[in-house]
Amino acid sequence: MVVNHKKLFTIGLADECVWRKSFIFAISLKIIYFVLMENNDYIYTLEIAVRDYELDSEGIVNNANYLHYLEMTRHEFCRWAGYSFKEMSADGIVPVLSRVEIDYKTPLRSGDVMLSSLWVEKRGVRFVFHQDIRNKFTGEMAVSAVVTVVSLEGGRLSRGDRLFERFEKWL
């Protein structure tokens, strides 16, 4: 029997590469599970990749971009929950920010992927979004924010009853 050692070596490396990728994938799934289960109040999570044009001169995500990530997550949540901003606008409802509190924890960099998660509560006329952004692969918290939204109807502050009706099961 003739054994082609070169071929065996190649197969061995390929198998090792597949094993490493599988191992890394399994670890990533455990991190994602840990991140999401750490705060089981989250009702929505969006995966977002860092784009190079969002970086500053130090090679980290510019702080203003985190506001965009938070807003994107709220918009996607509303669409996912069945009431998009386009539909709100057509119904004469305009949600506007009244307050943003943001704590920057660990910077994100080029090539990072984040998990942007939220849960929401209603306090009087305000809808308060509790939002966290974590590095998908390390689980490190990048940003923690509390975003307060009020609802305008006909150009005037409303009690938010119409929005409450649409999002009641998520509050």
Q: What is the CATH number of the domain that holds 99?
A: 3.10.129.10
Cα angle 81-90-69, degrees, rounded to a multiple of 5 = 50
Specify whether 63 is located in the same domain as 140.
yes
Specify whether 33 is located in the same domain as 85.
no
pLDDT, tens digit (0-9, with 9 covering 90-100), for 86-122: 999 999 999 999 999 999 999 999 999 999 999 999 9
Q: Which whole-number Å values give the CA distances from 126 to 3, 149, 164, in the listed order?
A: 73, 6, 10
Q: What is the predicted pLDDT for the residue at 131? A: 98
Q: Report the predicted TM-score, pTM, of the whole model to 2 decimal places.
A: 0.77
Q: Which domain holds residue 129?
A: 41-170
Specify whether 80 is located in the same domain as 92.
yes
pLDDT at 152 over 50: yes
